[in-house]
């Protein structure tokens, strides 16, 4: 999974990544857990893009984990941005 964060000057981050694959779960049913600074921000199913807002004045850590229908989790894809 590769995270892209192109809009740093506005403190808004558009995270996008290639969809995860699984030998049993179709891509359209894979769940993504999106974390900001180690707190679960939201989850969604079947796509590879979301918008997060970092916290100005600190280092922000963005993390995405893919989860298949059986509950198996991928290794986290993590990206750190210094917004100080």
Domain count along the chain: 1
Rounded distance between C-alpha atoms, residue 82 and residue 75, angstroms: 23
- pTM score, whole prediction: 0.77
In a domain, 17, yes or no: yes
pLDDT digits (tens, 9 = 90+) for 16-73: 777 788 888 888 889 999 898 999 988 888 876 676 777 777 888 889 999 999 999 9
In a domain, 56, yes or no: yes
In a domain, 19, yes or no: yes
Structural domain span for residue 65: 8-82
* One-character DSSP codes across 3-63: -B---GGGTEEEEE-PPP--SSS-GGG-EEEEEETTEEEEEEES-SEEEEEPPTTSEEEEE
CATH of the domain at 37: 2.60.40.10
């Amino acid at each position: 999974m590769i995270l892209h964060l192109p809009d740093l000057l506005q403190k808004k981050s558009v995270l996008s990544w290639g969809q995860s694959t699984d030998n049993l779960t179709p891509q359209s049913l894979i769940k993504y857990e999106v974390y900001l600074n180690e707190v679960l921000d939201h989850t969604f199913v079947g796509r590879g893009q979301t918008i997060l807002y970092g916290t100005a004045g600190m280092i922000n850590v963005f993390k995405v984990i893919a989860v298949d229908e059986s509950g198996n989790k991928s290794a986290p894809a993590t990206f750190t941005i210094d917004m100080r």
